[in-house]
Structure 1
Amino acid sequence: MNIILALLIWTAGGMGMYGQPDGEVTSLLQTSMSTVAKQPAAGSGNAVKSDPQQDEAPVVKGIYVTAYSAGGSRMEELVKLVDDTELNAMVIDIKDDEGYITYKTENAKLQEMGKPQPFIKDMGQLMERLDKHEIYPIARVVVFKDTILAKKNPELSFVKSDGSVWQNGSGDMFVNPYRKEVWDYNVEIAKEAAKLGFKEIQFDYVRFPEGFEKRADSLKYTKSEQSRVDIVAEFVKYARKELEPLGIRVSVDIFGYAASVPAAEGIGQDFVKISKHVDVISPMVYPSHYTTGWFGSKTPDKAPYQTIKGSMEDTHEKLDPLGSYKPIIRPWIQDFTASWLGSGNYAKYGKKEVEEQIRALKEMKVDEYLLWNASNRYTKGVEYK
């Protein structure tokens, strides 16, 4: 593939705490795509190939649901959408982009470290509703982007020379992937979600902040001899080991471009190393995330079929060497209009654009997918094949 220019990851400006998965405004990823070398094949290592939901899970076709929607009147409309179509799953915020635990919990550890904000007032009632309508429940847990935990425990975050906790341009704070306390806190949330009835835990923001390599030496934080890539992969491996006995799947959201570059060393994401330790990998391949030159398209957002097909070609090529350890590929696709890209650079997304993405996935033998719309307003009349 001949790709030129650098990749600029865009996000849905103005969408607040419910923006793209793993998607605050990002910096330029400077990559010379003319000489990209493919990632060497990764061995199975200590990974255990066993799908705890193999006999229970459907071929997942799902939608993103904020905790606010899940606990409010919007849920009626979303359940009807699933009932009336071939959709069959919901990804629901259990720990959101700010770090709020989105339901009431009696867990003393979670109360101490986090901050419950019960957008979902009756979790039991919600789970009964999902079960009644045969909706496969997936709990979204945002991991290392966590303003709540960083404020309460600055030593678990990244501290500037003046003693304040570092935050990005949007005011978001991150916690340190090198800290085992952070791992255990998020795994504890995932374990509680499993007890509540969720069949899968989807970890998001499994990475360092964008552009971290530019500030890694100026911030104060705990670290070891392990690289950022290795420590992030170690967290995923640890989480799966802890959760597998509970009979639930582990999935991870990852930048779509990670399938097309050797590794994103700055943020600590290696597509293969992470994929080796999960049941499901969910690359965010929104056409709006790609710039001119990607997959031979002048305007990728206007070419949903071409962009998705190209991204899946790269994904298969990256993961095929894993053999039997290759996880289920379940991409996030776009059901929103990226008007922030500016006139001439985006398309108004509707039935045709969503179906073109699904068609590309089908042709690339990818049967599962998730639809993202930050406000949970999904296009009507789509054929979810």
Structure 2
Amino acid sequence: MKQLKWFVVLMLSALVSLTFMGHAVAAEDSEQLAVSFSEKRSIKLDLSIKQAGLKRFRFDSGYTFNYPDAVRGIYLTGHSAGGSRFETLVNLLNETELNAMVIDVKDDHGNLTFKPDESSPFYDIAKNYINDPKEMMAVLEENEIYPIARIVVFKDTVLATKRPDLSFKDGNQVWKNNRQEAFVNPFMKEVWEYNVAIAKYAVEMGFMEIQFDYVRFPEGFERRDDQLTYSQGDYENHELDNVKKRVEAVTNFVEYAKDELADYGVDVSVDIFGYAATVEETPGIGQNFSRISEHVDVISSMIYPSHWTNNYFDIPVPDKEPYRLTVEYSKVENEVLAQLDHQPTSRPWIQDFSAPWLYSGATFIYGKKEVEDQIRALNENGIDEFLLWNSGNVYTEGVDYTPLN
């Protein structure tokens, strides 16, 4: 029954009416399968759709968005997208060269940030942060703001709690990191299907791009590999060591997601640690920069200067030298991407926040100059797109986001 549940989730976006979009797919006169998600809800599936593999399907949300000359975006939580800050951030984009928003659809805890129809299998994991998704999308369309849906994949405390068999166990308990966050298991294809079904939901909302984040195992997993209990699923009998198996699982998820979304007419992007571009592959988390890049339209390295160890690229304190750090990273990334047959668009995440945890004394403060230095360094190295990260969604005023113009 559990297997059927996630099959239903996978097929949902092509088969179920979305109340906030008003689109429906009519069932043909063919064999039907009814699956209950709760005592109150059931959904009928057309089995012929499964046989067709959902190919040749393209969804029209009813909204019109055009890809900008170059994406220059900011990040919004569900709270910001559905609250009073939304108007402020829309005004910021209207008054500057910024033109895109990355909005949480599935957040860092594993919750949807809006309430779908009660018949949805995602209803129980949803929060009402964005009260009116239709109105939000209409505002984005009216202001010509390019919409990108952020979906946090394998960091998912909600799903791990509901389905410990899809997570990692420490004894009899679901394992959590020191921030009390749980992860689900990238080896489990049910988890793949679950997240791609949510991605299709986002497409139907009107988003033009799906950005998958936390496409990885937990940090430091190589130190916990022998301590935690988990399934390797179909990878159990692969003739690979555990490091290579993790790389295969993460890469295969990205390839699967790109294939599943291919006929929806949207771009697929993945957030990835910046240092992944500087090594063959990350031993614990399973990220291989080149292999992931081969399967996406956009690769978004998180290159925040504060996140590099001291003396990386021979820079004593990278957080204090955002221009130099970004230049050195850009050179490496350009070299790696140039070797690929399929080169995605590079759109790094850059830093618009200060990092007091790095300093015992006065904190090096990020302001207008530091943000512009990162953008200038990218532009000078042929990278025209970027995304600004500030977890509180408060962005520096007065920044020139096209400093070379």
Band the TM-score falls in, shorter-chain normalisation: 0.7 to 0.9
CA–CA separation in structure 1 for the residues paired with 2:80 and 2:323 = 30
Alpha-carbon distance between aligned partners in 2 of 1:73 and 1:137, rounded to the nearest angstrom: 18
Show the counterpart of 2:141. Answer: 131
In structure 1, the residue corresponding to 2:112 is in which secondary structure?
A: strand
DSSP 3-state at the match of 2:121: helix
Deviation at 1:108, TM superposition (A): 4.5
Amino acid at match of 1:277: H
Partners of 1:104 and 1:74 in 2: CA distance: 20
Residue 248 of structure 1: how far off its partner (Å) = 0.4
Q: Deviations over 1:232-291 (max 9, x none)?
A: 000000000001100001000000111111210211000011111000000000010112
Counterpart amino acid of 1:79? V
1:96 corresponding residue in structure 2: 107
Residue equivalent to 1:262? 280
| Aligned: 1:83 with 2:100 | no
**1:46-89 CA distance string (max 9 Å, x none):** xxxxxxxxx94111000001110000000111000000001000
Please give the residue correspondences for 1:37-186 in structure 2 after superposition, counting only pairs within 5 Å.
56-58=66-68, 59-106=70-117, 108=119, 110-111=121-122, 115-161=125-171, 163-186=172-195
Tell me, yes or no, if the aligned pair for 2:66 and 2:146 is still in contact at 8 Å.
Answer: no
Match of 1:369 in 2: 386
The number of equivalent residue pairs is 329
Greater mean alpha carbon deviation, residues 67-76 or residues 55-64: 55-64
In the other structure, the counterpart of 2:332 is: 314
CA distance in 2: counterparts of 1:111 and 1:93, whole angstroms:
15
Q: 1:219 and 1:181 mapped to 2: Cα distance?
A: 20
Contact 2:75/2:101 (CA < 8 Å) preserved in 1?
yes
Instruction: State which structure, 1 or 2, has the greater radius of gyration over its C-alpha atoms.
Output: 2
Instruction: State the match for 1:50 in structure 2.
Output: none
TM-score of the superposed pair, with normalisation by structure 2: 0.79
- Deviation of 1:296 after TM superposition, in Å, equals 2.4
- How far, CA to CA, are the matches of 2:147 and 2:325 in structure 1? 29
- The structure-2 alpha-carbon separation of the partners of 1:150 and 1:335, relative to structure 1 and needing over 3 Å to count, comes to same
1:87-128 superposed Cα distances (whole Å, 9 cap, x missing partner): 00000000000001110112756327x610110000000000
Alpha-carbon RMSD across the aligned residues, in angstroms, is: 1.6
Does residue 213 (structure 1) correspond to residue 213 (structure 2)? The answer is no
Query: What amino acid does structure 2 have at the position aligned with 1:103?
Result: F
Q: How does 1:164-313 map to 2 (within 5 A)?
A: 164-223=173-232, 224=235, 225-226=237-238, 227-313=245-331
Percent identity among equivalent residues? 55
Determine the C-alpha separation between the residues in 2 that align with 1:208 and 1:156: 13
* SS of match in other structure, 1:184: helix
* Alpha-carbon displacement from aligned partner over 1:110-169 (angstroms, at most 9, x marks no partner): 327x610110000000000000000000000000000000000111101122x1111111
TM-score between the two structures when normalised by the length of structure 1: 0.83
Q: Secondary structure at the match of 2:113?
A: strand
State the secondary structure of the residue aligned to 2:254.
helix
* One-letter amino acid of the structure 1 residue matched with residue 227 of structure 2: S
Question: In structure 2, how many angstroms separate the alpha carbons of the residues matched to 1:345 and 1:366?
Answer: 32
Q: Which residue of 2 aligns with 1:38?
A: none
Instruction: Give the aligned residue type for 1:147.
Output: T
Cα distance in 2 between the residues matched to 1:243 and 1:263: 26
Higher-RCO chain (CA-CA 8 Å, sequence separation at least 6): 1
Q: Residue 43 of structure 1 aligns with which residue?
A: none
The 3 A distance-change label for structure 1 pair 184 and 80 is same
Query: Given that residues 336 and 373 in structure 1 are in contact (C-alpha distance below 8 angstroms), is that contact kept between their aligned partners in structure 2?
Result: yes
Mark the CA change 1:362 to 1:101 in structure 2 (over 3 Å): closer, same or farther: same
Q: Aligned to 1:208, what secondary structure does the other structure show? A: coil
Check the 8 A contact 1:110/1:189 in 2, yes or no: no
Q: 1: CA distance between counterparts of 2:330 and 2:82? A: 34
**1:380 and 2:389 are equivalent in the alignment:** no
Conserved 8 A contact 1:110-1:185: no
TM-superposed CA distance for 1:307, in Å, is 0.2
Q: Which amino acid aligns with 1:71?
A: G
Aligned counterpart, 1:350: 367
Q: Which amino acid aligns with 1:115?
A: I
Q: Distance in 1 between matches of 2:194 and 2:333?
A: 31
Task: State the Cα distance separating 1:345 from its structure 2 match.
Answer: 8.2
